[in-house]
Amino acid sequence: MSEILVKNATEIATTVGGIKRGGALKELYLIHGGSIYIKNGLIQSIGELDDFEHLIAGNPEIIDAAGMTVTPRFIDAHTHLVFAGTREDEFSMRIGGATYREIAERGGGIKKTVKDTRLASKTELVETAGAYLEHALRNGTTTMEVKSGYGLNLETELKMLEVVEELNQIQPVELIPTFLGAHAFPEDVSRDEYIQSILDMLPSVSGKAKFCDVFCEEGYFTIDESRAILEKAKEYGLSPRIHADQLTSNGGAKLAVEVGAVSVDHLEHVTDDEIEILAQSDTTAILLPGVSFFLNYGYPPARKIIDAGCITAIATDFNPGSCMCISMQMVMSIACTQMGMTPEEVLNASTINAAYSLGLTNVGSLETGKQAEVLIMDVPNYKMIPYFFGENHVNTVIKKGSVVWTR
Ligand SMILES: [Zn+2]
């Protein structure tokens, strides 16, 4: 395993300790002119090189980070990475003023992606998702949650989860699979039949997914249906996540706390009462500002959510319909300019808190003994990352102690 010394960084910017709530989300630990010694996949030392140079026994690869900023790598805790086809025609229609219903009537929307994904072979899906992952990696994401949900039948849901399994064997971005059979209702079976069918899929998908997610929203899955699916999923060892309060305020965030969900995602229409309940819980609020940007609708009340003390993370929600963006740097910038989050908050929300929402404890910050998951960015300080937006600042990506991408 490779041994690396990242030395002389103009700035190292990381959180220390565990998850960050409330005012602590702004806390960053900065080292100027510091170095990081990496061996056996772990951070062995971090700080002033003079303090630990005597511990370096071997002949490490030296990376001179002068002029650059070193941060933990990004964790994208909400994506729909695996899908066939794209929807740029629908994008043009939307810009032209077409409504969601008109787009659906002309064969667009999620139904198009379900149709294309059912028809695609596993090999085709591995190729397209693998190509998107190359974008994610060079933009600094090395861990990503990935949902199924474009199959809406057992055969294709399993195919999607198997694509995730295969991608984990052949490329460096670590993927964490979520079963999202409850993404929409398919056209070929009745509503009741499909709810039963999701419950019947759980034993088959349980070995292939870590989480179970539900699109809890008016016109999609009701509170009672979502509860029934998530409670049953828990019996099969799948921890709940919920898409909630995206288009309307329907109590999905409350349900998330009730079922002990690890995350509740979206929250554009979350109420003050629900924010209070969330703040008392261990459920992570995952905000997806790229969706509001791309669809041009209201943003979640990030300031209220953070200031109330909710564990807050941000993610891309990469998908072909509502957010064709796989760059956490772009999402960080949108979160700052449109939701009032600070550069410190977006860094912690993309690293330590995102890690927590996925049940990952040994990553998310640069600390001695933690897995070496490091970004070297071509900017002199961390504030430049969201400030100089629309640009990829990543110079080098280190995953489990090895360089997996460099400019
Ligand atoms: Zn989503």
Distance CA 223, CA 250 (A): 8
Query: For 124-136, what is the mean pLDDT?
Result: 98
Residue 340 has pLDDT above 70, yes or no: yes
| Lookup: tokens for 375 | 């970004």
Residues near 207 by beta carbon (within 8 Å), at least 6 away in sequence: none
Q: Which domain holds residue 54?
A: 4-72+364-406
Instruction: Please give the distance, rounded to the nearest whole angstrom, from the Cα atom of residue 377 to the centre of ligand 1.
Output: 28
Residues near 93 by beta carbon (within 8 Å), at least 6 away in sequence: 102, 103, 106, 108
Residue with tokens 């100089």: 388
54 and 170 housed in the same domain:
no
Pick from 357, 380, 397: which residue ends a domain?
357
Q: Please give the share of the chain, as a percent, with pLDDT higher than 90.
A: 94
Question: Taking Cα atoms as reference points, which of 275, 274, 219, 224 lies closest to residue 248?
Answer: 219
92 and 32 housed in the same domain:
no
Query: For 146-160, what is the mean pLDDT?
Result: 98
Instruction: Please give the distance, rounded to the nearest whole angstrom, from the Cα atom of residue 284 to the centre of ligand 1.
Output: 15
173 and 46 housed in the same domain:
no
Question: Taking Cα atoms as reference points, which of 53, 57, 159, 62 lies closest to residue 114?
Answer: 159
128 and 198 housed in the same domain:
yes
Instruction: Please give the distance, rounded to the nearest whole angstrom, from the Cα atom of residue 215 to the centre of ligand 1.
Output: 8
Residues near 233 by beta carbon (within 8 Å), at least 6 away in sequence: 179, 202, 212, 240
Instruction: Please give the distance, rounded to the nearest whole angstrom, from the Cα atom of residue 406 to the centre of ligand 1.
Output: 30
How many domains does the chain divide into? Answer: 2
Residue 124 has pLDDT above 70, yes or no: yes
Instruction: Please give the distance, rounded to the nearest whole angstrom, from the Cα atom of residue 400 to the centre of ligand 1.
Output: 27
Cβ atoms of 81 and 315 within 8 Å: the answer is no
Instruction: Please give the distance, rounded to the nearest whole angstrom, from the Cα atom of residue 80 to the centre of ligand 1.
Output: 6
89 and 207 housed in the same domain:
yes
Question: Taking Cα atoms as reference points, which of 79, 77, 78, 74 lies closest to residue 141?
Answer: 74
Instruction: Please give the distance, rounded to the nearest whole angstrom, from the Cα atom of residue 149 to the centre of ligand 1.
Output: 10
Residue 400 has pLDDT above 70, yes or no: yes
List, for residues 352-373, the tens digit of each pLDDT value: 999 999 999 999 999 999 999 9
List, for residues 258-306, the tens digit of each pLDDT value: 999 999 999 999 999 999 999 999 999 999 999 999 999 999 999 999 9
Instruction: Please give the distance, rounded to the nearest whole angstrom, from the Cα atom of residue 317 to the centre of ligand 1.
Output: 5
List, for residues 203-225, the tens digit of each pLDDT value: 999 999 999 999 999 889 999 99
Instruction: Please give the distance, rounded to the nearest whole angstrom, from the Cα atom of residue 58 to the centre of ligand 1.
Output: 45
Neighbours of 164 (CB within 10 A): 24
Instruction: Please give the distance, rounded to the nearest whole angstrom, from the Cα atom of residue 148 to the centre of ligand 1.
Output: 10
* Mean pLDDT, all residues of the chain: 96
Question: Taking Cα atoms as reference points, which of 76, 322, 261, 292 lies closest to residue 253?
Answer: 261
Residue 1 has pLDDT above 80, yes or no: no
Cα of 168 vs its chain's centroid, Å: 16
22 and 163 housed in the same domain:
no
Query: For 167-176, what is the mean pLDDT?
Result: 98
What's the Cα-to-Cα distance from 259 to each of 14, 126, 218, 250, 283, rounded to whole Å? 32, 33, 19, 16, 10
Instruction: Please give the distance, rounded to the nearest whole angstrom, from the Cα atom of residue 369 to the centre of ligand 1.
Output: 33
Distance CA 405, CA 407 (A): 7
Residue 169 has pLDDT above 90, yes or no: yes
Question: Taking Cα atoms as reference points, which of 211, 138, 126 lies closest to residue 167?
Answer: 126
Instruction: Please give the distance, rounded to the nearest whole angstrom, from the Cα atom of residue 373 to the centre of ligand 1.
Output: 25
DSSP string, 209-250: -SEEEEEESTTSB-HHHHHHHHHHHHHTTPEEEEEESSSS--
Instruction: Please give the distance, rounded to the nearest whole angstrom, from the Cα atom of residue 263 to the centre of ligand 1.
Output: 12
143 and 183 housed in the same domain:
yes
Helix axes 154-170, 122-138, angle to 10 degrees: 50
Q: Where are the alpha helices (DSSP H) in 236-350?
A: 252-258, 272-279, 289-295, 302-307, 328-339, 343-349
Residue with tokens 């693998």: 130
Distance CA 120, CA 141 (A): 26
Instruction: Give the global pTM.
Output: 0.97
315 and 389 housed in the same domain:
no
87 and 63 housed in the same domain:
no
- Exposed / middle / buried, residue 187 (Cβ in 10 Å: 0-12, 13-18, 19+): exposed
Instruction: Please give the distance, rounded to the nearest whole angstrom, from the Cα atom of residue 243 to the centre of ligand 1.
Output: 7
23 and 129 housed in the same domain:
no
Instruction: Please give the distance, rounded to the nearest whole angstrom, from the Cα atom of residue 62 to the centre of ligand 1.
Output: 40
Cβ atoms of 103 and 88 within 8 Å: the answer is no
pLDDT of residue 199: 98
List, for residues 87-107, the tens digit of each pLDDT value: 999 999 999 999 877 888 888
Instruction: Please give the distance, rounded to the nearest whole angstrom, from the Cα atom of residue 78 to the centre of ligand 1.
Output: 6
Query: What CATH number is given to the structural domain containing 271?
Result: 3.20.20.140
Query: What CATH number is given to the structural domain containing 402?
Result: 2.30.40.10
Question: Taking Cα atoms as reference points, which of 33, 26, 17, 42 lies closest to residue 70?
Answer: 33
Indicate left, alpha or beta for 266 from its phi (over 0: left) and psi (-120 to 50: alpha).
Answer: left
Dihedral sign for Cα atoms in the order 381, 385, 387, 390:
positive
Instruction: Please give the distance, rounded to the nearest whole angstrom, from the Cα atom of residue 121 to the centre of ligand 1.
Output: 23
Instruction: Please give the distance, rounded to the nearest whole angstrom, from the Cα atom of residue 213 to the centre of ligand 1.
Output: 9
Instruction: Please give the distance, rounded to the nearest whole angstrom, from the Cα atom of residue 137 to the centre of ligand 1.
Output: 20
Instruction: Please give the distance, rounded to the nearest whole angstrom, from the Cα atom of residue 126 to the centre of ligand 1.
Output: 20
168 and 30 housed in the same domain:
no
40 and 119 housed in the same domain:
no
Instruction: Please give the distance, rounded to the nearest whole angstrom, from the Cα atom of residue 323 to the centre of ligand 1.
Output: 9
Instruction: Please give the distance, rounded to the nearest whole angstrom, from the Cα atom of residue 264 to the centre of ligand 1.
Output: 11
What's the Cα-to-Cα distance from 89 to each of 103, 112, 287, 336, rounded to whole Å? 10, 12, 27, 30
